[in-house]
């Protein structure tokens, strides 16, 4: 699909929003493309981590494309299902790094918050303009923001539609790193390579365990048995990790 770029570089998948003239607003074609990309990443054992980026300097993504006049275009779910709003929730089992530049508004902001690591350009601006423009319906973005930002910071953004610049997002822990726009792709790839250097099965098991009990009391999380972690205990990678440590060498992961 022209609106979505998808490529592989070793064990890293690259997903790129490609509607720069529309500020990467998500239309039905892009949504289908994202849905297919996430499923490809989930189902391919040789993909260990993914990078989500966007074409153009002005915007990462400004949310759903409503240029046709409809308040809500027909779709599986904004962002191909990662948000679970307007369609089925797709849980990405592999780590996701988002490279954000320019405007990340509404659903575009939510799409960025679905990532496990966010690298932002100095030009990045995050916003939930729904109440400011008088359009509010689906509230997934608000539920994510209130969990990923300090309460009063998130509420101020929700109630006023005010924007959050990249440097402030870094200070509040929303993003992991802020870089100049010209090195954004390089910085995102560096994070992806750092993740890919770890045991892929261990990384996936850890992500699964964290997300499964994210909103549960600590005592519940501590007493839960996690199937992916138990499966990892008998994997080839676990044996390789111990062997490499004993031999004082870098492990050679196979994702098995």
Q: pLDDT for 106-127, tens place per residue?
A: 989 999 999 999 999 999 999 9
Is domain 4-196 annotated with CATH 3.90.226.10? yes
The full set of domain ranges for the chain reads: 4-196, 199-247
Tell whether the model's pLDDT for residue 43 goes beyond 70. Answer: yes
- Going by C-alpha positions, the residue among 121, 119, 172 that lies closest to residue 147 is 172
What local confidence, expressed as pLDDT, does residue 245 receive? Answer: 82
Catalytic residue check, 240: no
Cα–chain center distance at 164: 18
Three-state secondary structure string covering the chain = CCCEEEEEECCEEEEEECCHHHCCCECHHHHHHHHHHHHHHHHCCCCCEEEEEECCCCEEECCECCCCCCCCCCCCCCCCCCCCCCCCCCCCCCCEEEEECCEEECHHHHHHHCCCEEEEECCCEEECCHHHHCCCCCCHHHHHHHHHCCHHHHHHHHHHCCEEEHHHHHHCCCCCEEECHHHHHHHHHHHHHHHHCCCHHHHHHHHHHHHHCCCCCHHHHHCCCCHHHHHHCCCHHHHHHHHHHHHCCCCCCCCC
Give me the catalytic one of 130, 138, 180, 193: 130
Q: pLDDT for 19-34, tens place per residue?
A: 999 999 999 999 999 9
Give me the catalytic one of 9, 110, 230, 236: 110
What local confidence, expressed as pLDDT, does residue 71 receive? Answer: 52
Catalytic residue check, 130: yes
Write down the mean pLDDT value for the chain. Answer: 89
What local confidence, expressed as pLDDT, does residue 237 receive? Answer: 82
Global pTM reads 0.91
Tell whether the model's pLDDT for residue 143 goes beyond 70. Answer: yes
């Amino acid at each position: 699909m022209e609106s979505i770029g998808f490529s592989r570089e070793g064990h890293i998948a690259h997903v790129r929003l490609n509607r720069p003239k529309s500020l990467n607003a998500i239309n039905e074609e892009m949504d289908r493309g994202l849905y297919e990309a996430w499923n490809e990443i989930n189902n391919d054992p040789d993909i260990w981590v993914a990078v989500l980026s966007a074409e153009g300097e002005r915007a990462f993504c400004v949310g759903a494309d409503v240029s046709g006049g409809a308040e809500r275009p027909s779709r599986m779910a904004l962002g191909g299902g990662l948000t679970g709003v307007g369609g089925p929730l797709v849980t990405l089992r592999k780590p996701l790094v988002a490279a954000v530049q320019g405007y990340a508004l509404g659903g575009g902001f939510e799409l960025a918050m679905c990532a496990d690591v966010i690298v932002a350009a100095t030009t990045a601006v995050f916003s939930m303009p729904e109440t400011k423009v008088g359009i509010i319906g689906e509230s997934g973005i608000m539920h994510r923001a209130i969990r990923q930002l300090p309460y009063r910071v998130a509420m101020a953004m929700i109630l006023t539609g005010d924007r959050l610049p990249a440097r402030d997002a870094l200070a509040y822990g929303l993003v992991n790193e802020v870089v100049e726009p010209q090195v954004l792709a390089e910085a995102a790839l560096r994070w992806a390579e750092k993740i890919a250097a770890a045991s892929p099965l261990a990384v996936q098991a850890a992500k699964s365990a964290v997300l499964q009990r994210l909103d549960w009391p600590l005592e519940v999380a501590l007493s839960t048995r996690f199937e992916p972690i138990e499966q990892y205990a008998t994997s080839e990678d676990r044996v390789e990790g111990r062997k490499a440590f004993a031999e004082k060498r870098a492990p050679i992961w196979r994702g098995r």
